[in-house]
């Protein structure tokens, strides 16, 4: 089943992608991260995970790993096509656990992100 387009206007709005390709100098190394999940607590708001999504199975992950390490959060690459999630890879994490691979990828990613948030919730008030 194709992913639902939440907003046709935003889906068609490629302003940022076009802008940074047109405007940034050719030697400006960088990535445009897709999502940084943060703590729900307004007193904390610590980053819990950083996600880069891609359709490329072998996308370089060096910068994402450096960012996640520096932020002390989990860095995840989500691989997708135009219709569904294909897989995800944990590039760096301060936590050691896995969701069983028998679980369907979308449910596995959701469970993984919820587990990261739960781990954070158990510790964030003691920092």
- Report the interface residues with Zn ion, using CB under 5 A: 39, 41, 44, 46, 124
Beta strands, E only, 7-118: 35-38, 47-54, 74-80, 85-92
CB of 56 to Zn ion, least distance (A): 32
Q: CB nearer to Zn ion: give 41 or 104.
A: 41
Q: CB nearer to Zn ion: give 80 or 124.
A: 124
CB of 93 to Zn ion, least distance (A): 17
Q: CB nearer to Zn ion: give 19 or 35.
A: 35
CA angle, 87 then 91 then 96, to 5°: 95
- The structure tokens listed for 51 are 């996600």
């Amino acid at each position: 089943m194709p992913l639902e387009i939440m907003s046709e206007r935003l889906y068609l709005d490629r302003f940022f992608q076009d802008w940074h390709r047109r405007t940034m100098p050719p030697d400006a190394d960088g990535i445009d991260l897709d999502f940084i999940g943060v703590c729900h607590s307004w007193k904390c708001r610590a980053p819990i995970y950083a996600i880069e999504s891609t359709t490329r199975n072998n996308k370089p992950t060096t910068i994402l790993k450096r960012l996640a390490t520096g932020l002390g959060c989990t860095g995840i690459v989500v691989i997708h096509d135009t219709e569904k999630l294909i897989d995800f890879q944990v590039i760096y994490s301060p936590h050691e656990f896995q969701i069983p691979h028998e679980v369907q990828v979308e449910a596995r990613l959701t469970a993984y992100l919820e587990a990261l948030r739960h781990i954070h919730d158990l510790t964030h008030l003691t920092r």
